[in-house]
Amino acid sequence: MGDTITIKKDSLWKYTTFALAAIIIIGSIVIFSNNEASVTGNAVNVGNAEPSAKVDLSIFLKNPSIYPSIGPDDAKTTVIEFSDFQCPFCAMASGLSPWTQDANYATRYGDLIGVAQKIQEKAVEGDVRFVYVSMSFLGQESIYAAQAALCANQQGKFWEMHDAIFTAHDGEENNGKYTKDNLKKIAEPISGIDISEFSDCLDNDKTLSDVRQAATEASTAASGTPTFYVNGQKVSASWQQISQMLS
């Protein structure tokens, strides 16, 4: 793909957090030339990390059928990510979408790229508990993708489906990539998944009420995606910052 991200006009209001992402840089220098910002540095502040009213995050730690996690339940550090499978910035955080590996994105968005993937790796190693909360606020395909992920979760395959969905991300929204039929195709290569059971779950909206519940509850803790909390503290979507809190 090219070196731009397409965001539809009717989604712009949802990205107020991201509008600042290109200019709010942690420990970096922003140089303006030809009316564009050239960014040096390696940490982009995506997700509002300003002090906010105390948020009860315990609800996201008690129901793994809606809020899947990876890593030990008794880990000393718990990271919660509020995300939307269609969000281009969440795709960058996942580090899985091929287009996010373009050098231009590394220059512009620093260590936002791959931050969630690195946290996930830490969880696999047993150092962190990593919880994924789906906000599903960017349209119908966000809802379908979240439903599909929770259908896979019923078979213990959430993280495999999570990775497959983000790998299929093309940087755009609601363009047909996450229809139910396409999500079934995305799920098919997952080792050990019962695709008939998965399809029945997705076709009959068996996880739709859970997706709606997650979206409602997530709105109490996050207004943009991706948003991260480390041990209850909201932080920037920056590996530089988050890694320091994991050590």
pLDDT in tens, 118-170: 999 999 999 999 999 999 999 999 999 999 999 999 999 999 999 999 999 99
Is residue 9 over pLDDT 60? Answer: no
Q: Cβ(21)–Cβ(28) under 8 Å?
A: no
Percent of residues, the chain, with pLDDT higher than 70: 78
Predicted confidence band at 115 (pLDDT cuts at 50, 70, 90)? very high
* pLDDT computed for residue 55 by the predictor: 80
More confident residue, 101 or 233: 233
Lowest mean pLDDT among 11-25, 102-116, 141-155, 188-202: 11-25
More confident residue, 166 or 44: 166
Is residue 20 over pLDDT 50? Answer: no
Best CA proximity match to 239, nearest among 14, 27, 18? 27
174-228: per-residue pLDDT in tens?
999 999 999 999 999 999 999 999 999 999 999 999 999 999 999 999 999 999 9
More confident residue, 92 or 36: 92
Sorted by sequence, the CB contacts under 8 Å of residue 239 that are 6+ apart come out as: 43, 111, 112, 114, 115, 118
Q: How far apart are CA 178 and CA 136, in angstroms?
A: 12
* pLDDT computed for residue 53 by the predictor: 56
Q: How far apart are CA 156 and CA 151, in angstroms?
A: 9
* Structure token digits, residue 18: 């991201």
Q: How far apart are CA 110 and CA 114, in angstroms?
A: 10
Predicted confidence band at 31 (pLDDT cuts at 50, 70, 90)? very low
How distant is the alpha carbon of residue 102 from its chain centre?
19
